[in-house]
């Protein structure tokens, strides 16, 4: 399969996987992040367009554990018809506050990604279509209405 990639910035890097068997393709930041009140977002400088019947999803990389960031929307979904820039948005979560002994107040210098870093992974998925309909009843199952943590409860 060929995924069309439009280069939107001269520093953009074509997504690629580190190993032939990897499921994800690395996305690279073309900036040091644009900060807002509740998030920081990085531009990849690319737009992507998979074949019809497919879409892409954005996942965090394992290196995210070395930062003070979490992917803002857990997994980013990029629909097939979206042809705008791929932006990766993170929430900033402080792991530690530092006490400034001179002034006696707290400050925070979060660990973030910077320009040129691999910031996320792009995964290609087949898009499944379905229809939904109202039903008065659902089939009986062993689990039934057991919800959060119910599979660990002794019977």
What tens digit of pLDDT does each residue of 32-87 get?
A: 999 988 899 999 999 999 999 999 999 999 988 888 898 998 899 999 999 999 99
pTM above 0.75, yes or no: yes
Q: What is the mean pLDDT of the chain?
A: 88
Q: Give the mean pLDDT of 92-113.
A: 66
Instruction: Locate the domains of the chain by residue range.
Output: 4-128
- pLDDT of residue 97 exceeding 70: no
CATH fold, domain 4-128, is Deoxyuridine 5'-Triphosphate Nucleotidohydrolase; Chain A (2.70.40)
CA proximity to 47, closest of 94, 75, 96, 81 = 81
């Amino acid at each position: 399969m060929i995924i069309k990639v439009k280069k939107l910035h001269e520093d953009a890097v074509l997504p690629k996987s580190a190993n032939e068997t990897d499921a994800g393709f690395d996305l690279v930041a073309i900036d040091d992040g644009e900060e807002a009140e509740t998030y920081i977002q990085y531009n990849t400088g690319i737009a992507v367009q998979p074949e019809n019947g497919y879409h892409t999803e954005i996942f965090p990389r394992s290196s995210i554990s070395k930062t003070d960031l979490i992917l803002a929307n857990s997994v980013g979904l990029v629909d097939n018809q979206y042809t705008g820039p791929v932006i990766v948005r993170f929430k900033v979560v402080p792991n530690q506050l530092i006490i400034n002994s001179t002034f006696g107040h707290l400050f925070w210098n979060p660990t973030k990604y910077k320009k040129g870093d691999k910031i996320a992974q792009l995964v290609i998925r087949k898009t499944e279509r379905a229809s939904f309909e109202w039903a008065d009843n659902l089939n009986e199952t062993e689990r039934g209405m057991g919800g959060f943590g119910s599979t660990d409860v002794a019977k």
